[in-house]
Structure 1
Amino acid sequence: MGDPYILMLVALAALAILDLVVGVSNDAVNFLNSAIGSKAIPIKTIMIIASVGVFFGAVSSSGMMEVARKGIFNPNMFMFEEIMYIFMAVMITDILLLDIFNSLGMPTSTTVSIVFELLGASVAIALIKISASDTQSVADIWSYINDKKAIEIILGIVISVIVAFTVGAIVQYFSRVIYSFDFEKRPIYINALFGGFAISAITYFIIIKGLKGTPFYVNIKGLIEGNSALIIAGSFIVWSLISYGLIKFLKINILTAIVAIGTFSLAMAFAGNDLVNFIGVPIAALNSYEAWQASGVDANQFSMGVLAKKVPSNTILLLVAGAIMVITLWTSKKAKAVIETGINLSRQGDGHEKFKPNNASRVVVRLAMIANKGFNALLPLKTQQYINSKFEKPVIKLPKDKTYELPAFDLVRASVNLIMASILIAIATSMKLPLSTTYVTFMVAMGTSLADRAWGRESAVYRVAGVLNVIGGWFLTAIIAFTAAGIVATLIQWHQAMIPVLLLLVIFMLVRSTLQYSKKAKEEKNQEFIERAELISINEVIDESAEHIANVADRANKLYSNVVTDLATHDLNKLKKTEKHVTKLHDEIESLKNGVFYFIRSLDDTSVEASKFYILILGYLQDVTQSISYISKITYNHVNNNHKNLKKSQLKDLSSINDKLTGLLDKVSVTFQNKSFDNLNEVLNGKAELLNDLTSSIEKQVERIRTVETSPKNTTLYFSILLETQDLVSALISLLESCNEFYISSKSLNA
Structure 2
Amino acid sequence: MEQYYIFLLIALFVLAITDLTVGVSNDAVNFLNSAVGSKAASLRTILIIASIGVAVGAIFSSGLMEVARKGIFNPGEFYFNEIMIIFMAVMITDILLLDLFNSLALPTSTTVSIVFELLGASVAVSMIKIFSNDGQLSDISNYINGSKATEIILGILLSVLIAFTVGAIVQWISRMVFSFHYQKRIKYVGAIFGGVAMTSITYFILIKGIKGVSFIPDSFLEFVDGNKLLIVGICFLVFGLISQLIISFSKINLLTIIILIGTFALALAFAGNDLVNFIGVPIAAYQSYEIWHQSYLSSGVLPTDFAMDSLSGKVETPTYLLVFAGVIMVVTLWLSKKARSVMYTEINLARSGDGAEKFQPNFLSRLIVRASVNMNAGLNLILPKAWREKIDENFRIPMEKQLKKQDEPAFDMVRASVNLMVASILISTATSLKLPLSTTYVSFMVAMGTSLSDKAWGRESAVYRVAGVFNVIGGWFVTAIVAFTAAAIFAVIIYFGQEYAVIGLLIIAALLLTRSFLVYRKTEKEKNSKKKIDRTSLITINEMISESSDNISRVIGNINNIYSSVIDNLGLQDLKKLKKTKKQLKKLEDDVDSLKSDIFYFIKSLDENSVGASKFYILILDYLQDMVQSIGYISKNSYSHVNNNHKNLKFNQIRELKRIDLRIQELFDEVKVDFDSDSFDNIAGIIKEKRELLDYVSSLIQKQIDRIRSTETSPKNTKLYFSLLLETKDMITATINLLTLFKEFHDDFSRIKK
TM-score interval (norm. to shorter): over 0.9
C-alpha distance in 2 between matches for 1:116 and 1:463: 29
Where does residue 367 of structure 2 map in the other structure? 363
TM-score, length-scaled by structure 2: 0.95
1:558 maps to what in 2? 561
Question: In the alignment, which residue of structure 2 is the partner of 1:279?
Answer: 279
The residue type paired with residue 37 of structure 1 is G
**Can you list the C-alpha shifts for 1:266-297, whole angstroms capped at 9, x where unaligned?**
11122223211111111111221222222233
Mark the CA change 1:261 to 1:397 in structure 2 (over 3 Å): closer, same or farther.
Answer: closer
SS in structure 1 of the partner of residue 409 of structure 2: coil
State the match for 1:6 in structure 2.
6
Amino acid at match of 2:312: A
Q: What's 1:595 paired with?
A: 598
Aligned to 1:340: 344
Please give the alpha-carbon distance, in whole angstroms, between the structure 2 residues aligned to 1:16 and 1:635: 48
Asked if 1:319 is matched to 2:318, the reply is no
Which residues in structure 2 correspond to 1:229-244 (within 5 Å)? 229-244=229-244
Deviation at residue 500 of structure 1 after TM alignment: 1.3
Which digits, 9 at most, give the CA deviation of each residue in 1:126-179, with x for residues without a partner? Answer: 111111224x31111112112334433432343122221112111111111111
**572-581 vs 469-478, which deviates more?**
572-581
- For 1:101 and 1:337, locate their aligned partners in 2 and report how far apart those are by CA, in whole Å: 10
Q: Structure 2: which 5+ residue stretches go unaligned?
A: none
SS in 1 for 2:358: coil
Aligned to 2:168: 169
CA 1:608–1:130: 2 relative to 1, 3 Å: same
Shift of 1:543: 0.9
> Which residue identity is paired with 1:391?
F
Quickly say closer, same or farther: Cα 1:539–1:148, change in 2 above 3 A.
same
1:679 lines up with 2:682 in the alignment: yes
1:450-489 alignment to 2 at 5 Å? 450-489=452-491
Deviations, residues 564-604 of structure 1 (Å, cap 9, x unaligned): 22222222222222222122212211121112112221222
Query: Distance in 1 between the 2:668 and 2:151 partners?
Result: 64
1:62 Cα shift?
A: 3.2
Q: Secondary structure of the equivalent of 1:258? A: helix
Is the CA contact 1:34–1:417 (under 8 Å) kept in the aligned structure 2? yes
* Code of the aligned partner of 1:533: T
Find the aligned partners of 2:222 and 2:405 in 1 and give their Cα distance. 55
CA 16–430 in structure 1, closer or farther in 2 if over 3 Å, else same: farther
Deviations 1:194-249 (A, max 9, x none): 11111111112214542234322217346535332222111111111111112211
Distance across 2 between alignment mates of 1:433 and 1:302: 36
Question: Which one-letter code corresponds to 1:265 in the other structure?
Answer: A
TM-score (norm 1): 0.95
One of 586, 590, 610 as aligned partner of 1:607: 610
Partners of 2:164 and 2:448 within 8 A in 1: yes
Partner Cα distance (1:560, 1:150) in 2:
52
1:301 lines up with 2:300 in the alignment? no
Is the Cα–Cα contact under 8 Å of residues 623 and 738 in structure 2 kept in the other structure?
A: yes
SS in 2 for 1:678: coil
Q: Does 1:132 align with 2:132?
A: yes
AA of the residue aligned to 1:172 = Q
Cα deviation per residue 1:465-518 (whole Å; 9 max; x = unaligned)? 111111111111111111111111111111312111111111111011111111
Aligned to 1:638: 641
TM-superposed deviation, 1:523: 2.6
- C-alpha displacement of 1:727: 0.6
My pick for the range that moved more, 150-159 or 673-682, is 150-159
Whether the aligned pair in 2 keeps the contact of 1:355 and 1:462 (CA below 8 Å) is yes
Equivalent-residue separation in structure 2 for 1:116 and 1:252 (angstroms): 46
Aligned to 2:516: 513
- In the alignment, structure 1 segments of 5+ residues that lack a partner are none
Aligned to 2:426: 424
Q: Is the 8 A contact 1:568 1:645 kept in 2?
A: yes
Give the secondary-structure state (helix, strand or coil) at the position aligned to 1:324.
Answer: helix
CA gap of 1:119–1:531, structure 2 versus 1, over 3 A, is: farther
Q: Indicate if the aligned counterparts of 1:365 and 1:461 stay in contact, CA closer than 8 A.
A: yes
Residue 352, structure 1, aligned to residue 356, structure 2: yes
- Return 439-448 or 312-321, whichever deviates more: 312-321
Equivalents in 1 of 2:29, 2:529: separation in Å?
20
Q: CA deviation at 1:377?
A: 4.3
Q: Deviations over 1:419-451 (max 9, x none)?
A: 222333345556777753221111111011011
Which is worse superposed, 584-593 or 147-156? Answer: 147-156
Cα shift at 1:382: 2.2
* Equivalent residues in 2 for 1:1-400, closer than 5 Å: 1-62=1-62, 65-134=65-134, 136-218=135-217, 220-221=220-221, 224-296=224-296, 297-396=301-400
Contact 1:273 1:434 in 2 (8 A): no
Query: Is the 2:536–2:601 contact (alpha carbons within 8 Å) kept by the matching residues of 1?
Result: no
Q: Is the CA contact (8 Å cut-off) linking 2:12 and 2:91 kept in structure 1? A: yes
- State whether residues 68 and 284 of structure 1, in contact with CA within 8 Å, keep that contact through their aligned partners in structure 2: yes
- Whole-angstrom distance in 1 between the partners of 2:529 and 2:599: 16
Query: Is the contact made by 1:351 and 1:531 (CA closer than 8 Å) also made in structure 2?
Result: no
Q: 2: CA distance between counterparts of 1:370 and 1:588?
A: 34
> What secondary structure does 1:356 align onto?
coil
Question: CA 1:456–1:64 in structure 2 vs 1: closer, same or farther (change >3 Å)?
Answer: farther
Distance change in 2, residues 1:528/1:97 (3 Å): farther
- CA offset digits 1:383-407 (Å, max 9, x no partner): 2222221111112179x9x976431
Q: What is the aligned counterpart of 2:726 among 723, 726, 743?
A: 723
Partners of 1:454 and 1:12 in 2: how far apart?
Answer: 45
* Aligned partners of 1:535 and 1:604 also within 8 Å: yes
Distance (whole Å) between structure 2 residues aligned to residue 544 and residue 729 of structure 1: 22
Q: Partner of 2:514: helix, strand, or coil?
A: helix
Deviations 1:624-679 (A, max 9, x none): 11111111111222222222222333223222222222221111111110010222
Tell me, yes or no, if the aligned pair for 1:153 and 1:433 is still in contact at 8 Å: no
Bigger Cα displacement from structure 2, 36-45 vs 415-424: 415-424
Q: Structure 2 vs 1, CA of residues 52 and 696 (structure 1 numbering), >3 Å: closer, same or farther? A: same
Contact 1:195–1:254 (8 Å) recurs in 2 = yes
How many angstroms apart in 2 are the aligned matches of 1:99 and 1:701? 53
What SS is found at the alignment partner of 1:186?
helix
Contact 1:631 1:724 (8 Å CA) reproduced: yes
In the TM superposition, residue 107 of structure 1 has moved relative to its aligned partner by 1.4
Residue type of the alignment partner of 2:250: L
RMSD: 2.2
CA contact (8 A) 2:206 2:224 kept: no
Letter aligned with residue 681 of structure 2: D
Distance 1:430 1:138 in 2: 37
Shift of 1:301: 2.1
Contact preservation (8 Å) 1:247, 1:254: yes
Q: Quick one: which of 714, 736, 748 aligns to 2:717?
A: 714
Aligned residues of 1:530 and 1:598 also touching (Cα < 8 A) = no
The amino acid across from 1:228 in the alignment is K
2:165 and 2:60 map into 1 onto residues whose CA distance is 28
Listed one character per residue, the Cα deviations across residues 339-378 of structure 1 (whole Å, up to 9, x for unaligned) are 1211111111111111111111111112222333444444
Q: CA deviation at 1:534?
A: 2.3
Q: Which residue of 1 aligns with 2:493?
A: 491
Helix, strand or coil: the match of 2:275? helix
CA distance in 1, matches of 2:660, 2:718: 17
Distance 1:687 1:149, change over 3 A: closer
Q: Which amino acid aligns with 2:245?
A: G
CA distance in 2, matches of 1:746, 1:64: 72
